[in-house]
Structure 1
Amino acid sequence: MSSKSMMLAAALIAVCLLAGCRGGGSGSILDPEDVRKGTKGLEMDFIERNPPDEIYEDSTFSLGIELENQGAADITQGILKVGIDRTFMEWDQAPSQVSSVRLEGKTVTRPSGEQDFLNFRLYARPLPPNIETHTTQITVTSCYDYKTIAAFDVCIDTDIYGQGLFEKACEVEDLTSSGQGGPVAVTRAEPTMLPHEKEDRIMPQFRITVANKGGGRSFRKDLVKEMCTGATIDIKGFNTAEVNAYLSEEALECRPHYVNLEERDAEVVCALTEGIPVEFGSYKTPLTVTIDYGYTDSMSKQVEIKDVR
């Protein structure tokens, strides 16, 4: 290949990369900063007219459910449970009322996250002789594992008494966010530079606010199966999430390690207990907060069963 041809090929490859060329895809590309935005996770909806608003007794009908992972984490242990009033309905062809869910989250090349469609067959029992119509409810509950990662650029300033020991490269300030691609989010991080037990060091501390921004409830991440199968769960497993934090690559000591989100938000205090040398001055560095949790949400629809008499 001539040098001119090689230059042309390189230019075409560069254009393709900038334009987001992907085999078999739509070509849409999401800005990396937008991947971890928002407060959604697994979203559910009934497929139109599945089930219908009205059905007849002694007949089968379809229940269709659309699932989409609209957050930034992958769902690897999801469960979907369908609840019906067995006095008036039953499963057709003996299917399971529980289905497993595994959906990848949104990425730079998949802005909407992975989707799935589930279909169930149900049977409407004959109504009692003295009843012409009855309204019953179908409830769908999701339980799944999830992870939120919040990343901030924070200012570290070792001149905690303002003695002018060095030129300031940044200012210590509170940080806020509306969401990081999951229903549980870090909404605020308040940094404080504290004295250390060693005089030549300071201790960065961060007061972090974690909030449940979704419409469901969080629970301990290892209880996905129990949450959707009616197993007995210790009350401490509800409305909780595990929080870890890192300053650059150094793990911080966080208390409490599990936050209680029963009131929708909670605070955790994380500190670099080993400290930072005063001689480091002021500089910016990444603060990363990870939240591991399970999440459950539900939706329901009323269906009217009519007699055929």
Structure 2
Amino acid sequence: MAAALADRRLRHRHGADRISELPNDLLHQILHRVTSTPAAALTRVLSRRWRRLWADLTELRLDSVLAPVPGIGTDDGALDACCVPTVTRLSVFLDHLPPWDSGLSADRVAPWLRFASWRVAGDLCILLPPAATGGAVVVEEDLRLPVCERVTEITLWLGYRFRLRMPAAGMFAVLTYVNIRDARMDSRELEEFVSCGCPRLEELAVRLPPFLTESVVCIRSDSLRRLDFHIKNTRRLEVAAPGLERLSMSNADKAYITAPELGEIAWEDDTFKPLRHQFTETGRHLRRLVLTLSSTTAELLQRFDTVDQLIVDILIPHIHTCGFGGGRWLQELLGECGHASLL
């Protein structure tokens, strides 16, 4: 009672606090626009009215692991204080920080994933800074991804810190988008995750160092529409996706693609080793083809009769040593394309 009386006297002395008199829905919209949950938590000092407002936010953005916030401690304190049963977005944005190793063990990151598995019905995004290793791959320990039944999008950029272990069982029932970078994975676990655990997955993007185990992976999915596959030293990639429309890939020695709806390909390999790849049950026409001008280019183009748009990344020192006639071959190629753009 005394605190409430003091608040009224303060408002009387300095004028009415009209912002605090707004409905909770409007105040939550104001706090959402702050974009940082720890920063929003600082509003708790404004008055008793604001003390718990930030804890009812349904979108959490954590970006101050290195800078504890007065009143809540670290980002873990913000998650512990969250009062709503369902969060539509959890983002941990640390990729803007310089390379940093202290405090980012699996025990530090795992609670964020567990919180997502319990409370998030929407997007999960964790972006970590790179490990301070000068670019070398240094694996610290296992980081397990729990089953997230209500998460629709997962983005994990892990800075070459962890072996990401996928759940042995369980269904990501509404997951449609996955983007994983800079973490080691087991090829079999990736297979099971995509082919058995994600019945509604539409987009998969993986850009990783070499697999932990045998570098052979088979992806089967009836729902997949776009695949970006860039995992170093992949010995063989098999894809069976009847709805696949866009494929971007590199680093696979062999590729076997079954995708009758395939219309766009981005082939990023610029190596000169002979690649072996087969496109079965695919059409002979592409809407868009992006590739590097290398010894593999001619072989790839033989798989298709027409291309509406061709984008070629030309490596100038190699254009006369590619073994297929250099500029003359390129001119003949462009003459058969509906549209071509050279980048």
Q: If the length of structure 2 is used for normalisation, what is the TM-score?
A: 0.23
Higher relative contact order (CA 8 A, sep 6+): 1
Which structure dedicates a bigger proportion of its chain to helix? 2
Which structure dedicates a bigger proportion of its chain to strand? 1
